[in-house]
A and B are shown apart, each in its own frame.
Chain A
Amino acid sequence: MAENSTRSAVSPLFAVGDCVRVRNAHPPGHVRTPYYCRGHIGVIERLCGVFPNPEELAYNRSGLPALPLYRVRFLSRELWPNYSGRPNDVVEVETFQHWLESAA
């Protein structure tokens, strides 16, 4: 599935440890980027591989070229106002590359 699509895949732009900001965009459709992390800065935890774009798959299109999918780590206290947990608590969210921009 994912591995088979590498020939027509978009190249990864980010590496582990890079600071990224999730685009604060609100397109309609089958979007897999939660609202709570849009506009927030996180760090690339890992590259999961390349996968067909779910926003296209949902409409019975190919989803190709496949897109790099990352796990982005956000500090919980950065995501939520008045977060009452520990300072190093985190939320990690799978995010496709077209939702990310460099925040270095």
Chain B
Amino acid sequence: MNKPAGGADTPGYYRRMQAAVEELLILRGVMTQDELDRRVTDMDARTYKRGAQVVARAWVDPVYKARLLAEPRTATAELGIDIGPTHLIVVEDTSKVHNIVVCTLCSCYPRMLLGVPPHWYKCREYRSRVVREPRAVLAEFGTALPPDVDIRVHDSTADMRYMVLPLRPAGTEHLGEAALAELVTRNSLIGVGLPNAS
């Protein structure tokens, strides 16, 4: 399906399809233009900073972490984050196991917590290789794991969505929750990167 993307002057296939679907949603009364605009604005406002906030809280509060792993929906709601109908699973990195998230079939992604997925997450190369040669893919992201760490790849093929709870970087004992959240990268929440060192 190599459809031309189209330049600024000539709308391409996907731009025309998008416009057609928008018009149909409004013409058929599914939603108004205002509602549609609000949805788009809401989606644009969601970024991985939400996930970073959740991770930082889990790092400073072990009881919260336990709730996050057991009941992600209520635990994220405690921080004012509504994940809607998403069935979230938070997978915790340890000194022995490193988690990575992929959707080999399409591009399923925990948008309510991480926003819009990066381009590479949707690409065939990432989707096909990370299940088969995860360390080679990690290396290309500049990520090296200790030699004694096992890898657990989560393929979100159906109704679950995944976020990684990465390890808290060493030497961050003096940092508060807000400063810790700044260390959390988007890639560390997908598992292809690690949080920044302080």
Contact = CB atoms under 8 A, between A and B. Distances in A.
B158 A86 contact: no
B133 A95 contact: no
Contact of A32 (B132, B150, B157): B157
Contact of B151 (A34, A86, A94): A86
B135 A85 contact: yes
Interface of B: 85, 87, 104-105, 131-135, 149-160
Nearest to A30: B105
A91 B156 CA distance: 11
A79 B149 CA distance: 19
A91 B155 contact: yes
A64 interface: no
Contact of B87 (A2, A36, A80, A96): A2
B155 A34 contact: yes
A87 B134 CA distance: 13
Given A85-B134, A85-B135, A51 B152 contact: no
Interface of A: 1-2, 32-34, 36, 48-49, 51, 54, 69, 71, 76, 79-80, 83-86, 88-96
A51 B151 contact: no
B150 A93 contact: no
Given A76-B131, A95-B157, 4 more contacts: A48-B158, A85-B134, A89-B153, A90-B153
Contacts of B158: 32, 48, 51, 54, 69, 94-96
B61 to A, nearest CB: 25
Nearest to B91: A92
A48 B87 contact: yes
A92 B153 contact: yes
A22 to B, nearest CB: 11
Contacts of A91: 131, 152-155
A32 B156 CA distance: 10
A2 B159 CA distance: 9
Contacts of B156: 94
A24 B131 CA distance: 19
Contacts of B149: 86
B157 A90 contact: no
27 contacts: A1-B85, A33-B157, A36-B132, A51-B158, A69-B158, A71-B160, A76-B132, A76-B134, A84-B133, A85-B133, A85-B135, A85-B151, A86-B150, A86-B151, A88-B150, A89-B151, A89-B152, A89-B153, A90-B151, A91-B131, A91-B152, A91-B153, A92-B152, A92-B154, A94-B158, A94-B159, A95-B158
